[in-house]
Amino acid sequence: MTTKNHIIPVKNYLLITAALFVLTVVTVAVSFVDLGGFNVVVALAVASVKATLVALFFMHLWYDNKLYMLIFVIAIVILAVFIIIIMFDVMTRDDIYQFAQSLTGLLT
């Protein structure tokens, strides 16, 4: 048997769970503080930390064949590209009205 059969001690699982609980409390508490647009950023940042803990330790990615981590990271990257590219389009849709107006200005 190879070293890949790493068994995580129960205590480590409990520590990770405690960290996840604390982060949940943090994210709820921060939501009551008005940070404007920054609230979303903080909420997603905390969620990402929690997700990383679950992926690395509960899902065993830290100890396993790196190929599994690669597959997971690729999924996240594809999703990020998906969202970012679409937002470039969605957030600039109003520009066409300014463009149309500037054209009318030229014609008159």
Partner 1 sequence: MSEATAHNGNLEHHFIDAEQQKDSAKIGMWLFLLTEILTFGGLFVAYTIFRSLNPEMFFNAHKFLDTELGAFNTIVLITSSLTMALAIQSLQVNKPKLAYRYLLATFIFAATFLVVKYFEYSHKFHLGQLPGRFYTFEGVEGTNPHIFFGIYFMMTGLHGIHVIIGMGLILWLAIKTRKLQFSPDYYTPVENVGLFWHLVDLIWIFLFPLFYLIG
When asked if residue 63 is in the footprint of partner 1 (CB under 8 A), the reply is: no
Rg (CA), the chain: 22
Q: Which is nearer to partner 1, 83 or 106 (CB)?
A: 83
Q: Which is nearer to partner 1, 11 or 108 (CB)?
A: 11
When asked if residue 100 is in the footprint of partner 1 (CB under 8 A), the reply is: no
Q: Which is nearer to partner 1, 51 or 100 (CB)?
A: 51
Q: Which two tokens stand for residue 58?
A: 């509960």
In Å, the largest CA–CA distance within the chain is 82
CA atoms of 4 and 45, how far apart (whole Å): 31
When asked if residue 56 is in the footprint of partner 1 (CB under 8 A), the reply is: no
Shortest reach from residue 21's CB to partner 1, in Å: 6
Secondary structure letter of residue 64 according to DSSP: S
